[in-house]
Amino acid sequence: MADVHGFPKLPVDDRPDLAAGSPAYTNPIVIRFGTMPPDTMEFEINKALVARRFTNRAAAYDGVSSRQATMAQALLGTTQARMASAPGRILELGSGTGTLTSAIRRTWPAARLVAIDLSQAMLDLALSKADCADVDFRCGDAESMIDELAGAGPFDLVISSAAVQWFADGPAAIQGYCELLRAGGLASIATFGPDTFQELSQAFRAAAAEIDRPPYQRVLTFPAAAAWRQALAPPRLDVDIIEERQTEWFDTVPDMLAAIRGVGAGNANRHYAPIGKRLYAAMTRAYRDRFGGAGPVPATFHMQYIYCRRAD
């Protein structure tokens, strides 16, 4: 659907929440921009917006998330190969509609499984899956539940696929969750790395420069392997990170943006600056000129599989 200017209309859930009392309202964009230097690239996650996006996309999620399903499958296979014995207690972070949760259940049916997600709508769909009937689902922000979950541990396995990139500080949270592992326990995390959507970031920066706008960060930022290694530092944790890059091709830039939004993954920067007609046009032009030419346009997906074993 197009707006009056002929540009694709953003779904309502892709706009910042400016309702009185909402987190975005209590930290208003206009004031924050007024206090930031003009070239700021600050990115701060708006969790209320993340939760709302996934809630709004929950019903469609399983039909459009083949990349996430493949990632979850790869993570479970490699995790299984790293487990010396069947885990007795498992904690899953950002379980969504239960794609990985149900596979975990089938792999280790005797394990006690706790699964957390920010969106109750995503959890409701997970609960409706036959394999997930006896999972202990909890709704909340996994970054603020480490102490609360200590009572359900210690865990043999903490696992998460395609979720911790939505955390304000994923490496710090996983470091905290590693404290809940029993000696020899494993944290297995699949997430996206900094090359993900690099074309979109570059196109936005080129467009902003072309029309003389500040280069605000409009694409989710992702911690690099070095940041993970620094947070999950030895001697108590033994870290192994496997990285993989894939290119996906889309007919047009709007098709690519629609696919990102389709899985609930639109920009969730608290410091939201409206894109506007001129910037959008300049960005799509820059994207095509730099990466696509007259044909389809590429988007890089940089996957990181992080395995962290507690030594003591």
Ligand X SMILES: C[S@@+](CC[C@H](N)C(=O)[O-])C[C@H]1O[C@@H](n2cnc3c(N)ncnc32)[C@H](O)[C@@H]1O
> Please, which residue, 189 or 286, has the CB nearer to ligand X?
189
158 part of the interface to ligand X, by CB under 6 A: no
Closest CA to 99 of 59, 133, 121, 69: 69
For residue 99, what are its two tokens? 């794609």
> Please, which residue, 93 or 208, has the CB nearer to ligand X?
93
Q: Are the CB atoms for 302 and 226 separated by under 8 Å?
A: no
Helices (H), the chain: 23-26, 29-35, 47-64, 66-82, 99-107, 120-127, 146-150, 170-178, 198-210, 225-231, 253-262, 276-287
The one segment of 7-15, 141-149, 224-232, 302-310 that binds ligand X by CB under 6 A = 141-149
96 part of the interface to ligand X, by CB under 6 A: yes
Q: Are the CB atoms for 40 and 273 separated by under 8 Å?
A: no
User: Total residues at the site for ligand X (CB under 6 A)?
Assistant: 25
Name residues contacting ligand X, limited to 162-181 (CB under 6 A): 162-163, 166-167
Sheet holding 181-192, edge to edge: 136-139, 112-117, 89-93, 155-161, 181-192, 297-310, 237-250
The whole-angstrom separation of Cα 219 and Cα 200 is 7
As beta bridge partners, residue 248 has 299
Closest CA to 100 of 8, 229, 190, 32: 190
> Please, which residue, 94 or 292, has the CB nearer to ligand X?
94
Among 56, 99, 217, 269, binds ligand X (CB under 6 A): 99
> Please, which residue, 203 or 263, has the CB nearer to ligand X?
263
Name residues contacting ligand X, limited to 203-262 (CB under 6 A): none
Name residues contacting ligand X, limited to 18-57 (CB under 6 A): 47, 50, 54
> Please, which residue, 161 or 284, has the CB nearer to ligand X?
161
Q: Tell me, what DSSP letter sits at residue 12?
A: G
The one segment of 5-13, 17-25, 115-123, 216-224 that binds ligand X by CB under 6 A = 115-123
The whole-angstrom separation of Cα 98 and Cα 114 is 12
Contact characters 65-84, ligand X, x per CB under 6 A:
x--x---x------------
The one segment of 76-84, 138-146, 202-210, 234-242 that binds ligand X by CB under 6 A = 138-146
Q: Which residues bind ligand X (CB under 6 A)?
A: 47, 50, 54, 65, 68, 72, 94-96, 99-100, 116-119, 122, 141-143, 161-163, 166-167, 263
